Chains A and B, each alone.
Chain A
Amino acid sequence: MTLESLNLLPALPEVFLLCAVSAILLLDLFISDRNRAYTYLLSLLTLAACAGITLGTASDRVEFAFNGLFVDDPLSDLLKVWVYIGVAGVMVYSHVYGRSRQLFRGEFFTLALFSTLGMMVMISANHLLTLYLGLELMSLSLYSMVALQRESPRSTEAAMKYFVLGALASGMLLYGMSMLYGATGTLAIPDMAQRIASGEVRGTILVFGLVFVVAGLGFKLGAVPFHMWVPDVYHGAPTAVTLLIGSAPKLATTGFIFRILAEALGSPSLVAEWQDMLVILSVLSMVVGNVAAIVQTNLKRMLAYSTISHMGFFLLGILPGSAEGYGAAVFYAIVYVLMTLASFGMILLLSREGFEAENIDDFRGLNRRSRWYAFLMLLVMFSLAGIPVLLGFWAKLAVLQVAFEAGYTGVVVAAVLLSVVGAFYYLRVVRVMYFDDPVDTAPIVNAGDQRALIAVNALALLVLGMAPGWLLAVCQQAVKASL
């Protein structure tokens, strides 16, 4: 190994984050509960510094580090910056919520940062080994964060389910990867793609491994029929942790899918194999997600089923196996993260000590209690439903367009019909907010930074929706430069 092949500079954000988390971990030991806000501020500063480093070292070139185990390309920079935004958003939304629920602890912040590190490792992986290690780093932090509220049996149960099913999914992924290794004789992603392209590889074993990899990915995404854990975990976890599970990890999974399906297994013969599987996952997710969400009375469960249906839409973008498709999928994932942040953020802001605003009934008459919050929630719900002008519409349009151009007319028609079904339950929340009488009359009190963030977050859906072209163009360009 030489210093050239080590090439630490592209991995600077990861190196910095690891050093910073370790420092925060130690510093936090000497901070009393009263001054815990310092840990919070330090964590936010760390994320900001990471964003600065990532943006500062961003370039159009594809660079390798750590002897080819790590890759820094435009797509990884784009996804990482959104991961920082997502995790920082989670921290700002949840700091008041956490204080009254034993969540405002040093471990909450350090584990969140460790999971961020895991996401970054996944996004920048150039080797199946690092891909898997990043996934475990992220998942382990998330499992323990779900269980962080020790006194709550509901969150302990959710953590157990998440952990067991997550372990099962990891097992499937590993088994699939071992088959890929058996077929190609390498774990490095570029080598694997090269050997498959050379045609010397045994197809059956490759496809066999691929099935397990896709099943494992389905688990991690929460796509039907591997979705069972999603509603229980979203519902059972403390809302602040649900927000974290639902937002940034989706970007990391996007990176994971891009690395393994597009880069390693992207040869035309294999693309045809996984396309068939993804069609099933995608259509089933949209059906089950949208139909099951209708009967939910708990907003967190409803949003969990809505996540499942959104993952179905997201997979539509992956289907064509083209650069445009991946670009649209990345765009969808980013928009989805913005919408998730705002929707769960709203639940956090309306909750107060001893009260969780997690039922749809808790949003009754929100308009009378606060016109501004009701308006912001309306924007978020409209965007999730995919009503034009808002950003969610453009995301849906982008993935539908690429799927349609690739010839999946039937799937696209089904997707459009199901998104009409989906609009019903989003609009029900809006109806309840505007036309019902409030049952809960307690004043809504929030910190200034939270009020500012929810306004920026929800209005971004509107403003970016007015000019959606540039974000989509950024995603497309990043994917094109990285493939």
Chain B
Amino acid sequence: MFQTVVFYVFAAILLFAAVRVVTARNPVHATLFLVLAFATASGLWMLLEAEFLAIAMVLVYIGAVMVLFLFVVMMLDVNIDRLREGYWDYLAPGLAIAGMMVAEMAVVLVGRKFGLLTMPAPSPKPADYSNTREIGAVLYTQYVYAFELAAVVLLVAIVAAIALTLRRRKDSKFQDPARQVAVRKQDRIRIVSMPAEKTVSRDS
């Protein structure tokens, strides 16, 4: 009973936060609502006894990704009003189409198809059951191929990001340590032979 109440409270917060991510005018607020959505989602995972995923969500998404996101959003100088141009014009047809799709999907899916009778809840695990251990055991054995492929996808993302954004500016100043070390006396110092100091004539 208590769990059900917690679930509904969390689910309501999650939905509210998700809607606000899209509708918030200020991108920083939108990002913060996304943080809220992630935190509640990890709470829901906790309820499902998926504690490793819940903690990973908090650490990786909230702790790392969203902080980075906040930095980017704060640094970008986005003109919200231009982005929002036509927002109200598109809202009505967009809502109509979305509503229609939701209704159509509901007609197909609502009912007993996903109910607890057809898909019973899994039996609770004993206290010494380690979620992390189980995930680790299949991630690096059964699913090692998929794991490696995900790594390759990330590598491609790195290569693509560098290829698309790295530009060598001609006017940028940088140090080349190899050249600094290899510098010779002749490169830096010019020895000029000067005539001995002239006698200063008294006239000038």
Interface residues of A, Cβ cutoff 8 Å to B: 1, 6, 11, 18, 22, 25, 65-67, 69-70, 105, 107, 110-111, 114, 117, 121, 127, 129-130, 133-134, 136-137, 140-141, 143-144, 147-148, 150, 182, 202, 204-205, 208
For the complex, give the distance between the alpha carbons of A269 and B109 in Å: 20
Q: Which of A66, A67, A136, A182 makes the CB contact (< 8 A) with B114? A: A182
B153 to chain A, nearest CB (A): 5
The yes or no answer to B75 lying at the interface (CB within 8 A) is no
Asked if A107 contacts B144 (CB within 8 A), the reply is: no
For the complex, give the distance between the alpha carbons of A128 and B145 in Å: 13
The yes or no answer to B152 lying at the interface (CB within 8 A) is yes
The yes or no answer to B22 lying at the interface (CB within 8 A) is no
B45 to chain A, nearest CB (A): 16
Asked if A18 contacts B152 (CB within 8 A), the reply is: yes
Asked if B156 contacts A130 (CB within 8 A), the reply is: no
In which size bucket is the chain B interface? 20 to 34
Do A137 and B156 contact each other (CB < 8 Å), given the known contacts A67-B141, A144-B163?
yes
A204 to chain B, nearest CB (A): 6
Residues of A within 8 A of B19 (CB): none
Residues of B within 8 A of A148 (CB): 163-164
B86 to chain A, nearest CB (A): 17
Closest chain B residue to A212, Cβ basis: B105
The yes or no answer to B179 lying at the interface (CB within 8 A) is no
7 residue pairs A–B, Cβ–Cβ below 8 Å: A22-B155, A66-B144, A111-B160, A117-B152, A130-B145, A141-B160, A144-B156
Asked if B149 contacts A137 (CB within 8 A), the reply is: yes
Quick one: CB contact mask for B153-192 with A, threshold 8 Å, 1 for yes? 1011101101110010000000000000000000000000
Q: Which of A69, A129, A144, A208 makes the CB contact (< 8 A) with B160? A: A144
Asked if A1 contacts B142 (CB within 8 A), the reply is: yes
In chain B between 77 and 114, which residues have their CB closer than 8 angstroms to a CB of chain A? 105, 108-109, 113-114
Q: Which of B118, B146, B160, B163 makes the CB contact (< 8 A) with A130? A: B146
Residues of A within 8 A of B152 (CB): 18, 114, 117, 137
The yes or no answer to B16 lying at the interface (CB within 8 A) is no
Given A140-B157, A140-B160, A144-B160: 4 more A-B contacts, CB < 8 Å: A69-B145, A144-B156, A148-B163, A202-B113
Asked if B145 contacts A70 (CB within 8 A), the reply is: yes
Asked if A137 contacts B163 (CB within 8 A), the reply is: no
Residues of A within 8 A of B109 (CB): 204-205, 208
The yes or no answer to B143 lying at the interface (CB within 8 A) is yes
A299 to chain B, nearest CB (A): 27
Residues of A within 8 A of B108 (CB): 204, 208
Asked if B153 contacts A137 (CB within 8 A), the reply is: yes
For the complex, give the distance between the alpha carbons of A259 and B14 in Å: 36
B150 to chain A, nearest CB (A): 6
Asked if A107 contacts B163 (CB within 8 A), the reply is: yes
For the complex, give the distance between the alpha carbons of A182 and B114 in Å: 9
B77 to chain A, nearest CB (A): 20
Residues of A within 8 A of B163 (CB): 105, 107, 111, 144, 148
In chain B between 110 and 146, which residues have their CB closer than 8 angstroms to a CB of chain A? 113-114, 118-119, 141-146
B27 to chain A, nearest CB (A): 19
Closest chain A residue to B161, Cβ basis: A144
Closest chain A residue to B141, Cβ basis: A1
* Top 3 closest pairs, chain A to chain B, by CB: A144-B160, A66-B145, A107-B163
For the complex, give the distance between the alpha carbons of A480 and B113 in Å: 36
For the complex, give the distance between the alpha carbons of A321 and B142 in Å: 32
Residues of A within 8 A of B155 (CB): 22, 114
Residues of B within 8 A of A147 (CB): 164
For the complex, give the distance between the alpha carbons of A343 and B10 in Å: 57
Do A134 and B160 contact each other (CB < 8 Å), given the known contacts A66-B144, A182-B114, A208-B108?
no
Residues of B within 8 A of A205 (CB): 109, 113-114
For the complex, give the distance between the alpha carbons of A211 and B162 in Å: 37
B54 to chain A, nearest CB (A): 20
Residues of B within 8 A of A143 (CB): 160
Asked if B142 contacts A67 (CB within 8 A), the reply is: yes
B114 to chain A, nearest CB (A): 7
Closest chain A residue to B109, Cβ basis: A208
Q: Which of A1, A133, A182, A202 makes the CB contact (< 8 A) with B153? A: A133
B70 to chain A, nearest CB (A): 22
For the complex, give the distance between the alpha carbons of A117 and B145 in Å: 13
A102 to chain B, nearest CB (A): 11
Residues of B within 8 A of A70 (CB): 145
For the complex, give the distance between the alpha carbons of A67 and B109 in Å: 34
Closest chain A residue to B163, Cβ basis: A107
B125 to chain A, nearest CB (A): 18
Residues of B within 8 A of A22 (CB): 155
For the complex, give the distance between the alpha carbons of A121 and B150 in Å: 12
Residues of A within 8 A of B156 (CB): 111, 114, 137, 140-141, 144
Residues of A within 8 A of B146 (CB): 69, 127, 129-130, 133
For the complex, give the distance between the alpha carbons of A137 and B156 in Å: 7
Residues of A within 8 A of B145 (CB): 11, 65-67, 69-70, 130
Closest chain B residue to A66, Cβ basis: B145
Residues of B within 8 A of A110 (CB): 159
Residues of A within 8 A of B164 (CB): 144, 147-148, 150
For the complex, give the distance between the alpha carbons of A226 and B163 in Å: 30
B38 to chain A, nearest CB (A): 19
Q: Which of A6, A25, A105, A130 makes the CB contact (< 8 A) with B149? A: A130
Closest chain A residue to B160, Cβ basis: A144
For the complex, give the distance between the alpha carbons of A240 and B145 in Å: 31
For the complex, give the distance between the alpha carbons of A202 and B119 in Å: 11
Closest chain B residue to A69, Cβ basis: B145
For the complex, give the distance between the alpha carbons of A129 and B156 in Å: 18
For the complex, give the distance between the alpha carbons of A335 and B153 in Å: 30
B9 to chain A, nearest CB (A): 25
Residues of B within 8 A of A69 (CB): 143, 145-146
For the complex, give the distance between the alpha carbons of A159 and B78 in Å: 21
For the complex, give the distance between the alpha carbons of A121 and B152 in Å: 12
For the complex, give the distance between the alpha carbons of A129 and B149 in Å: 10
B43 to chain A, nearest CB (A): 21
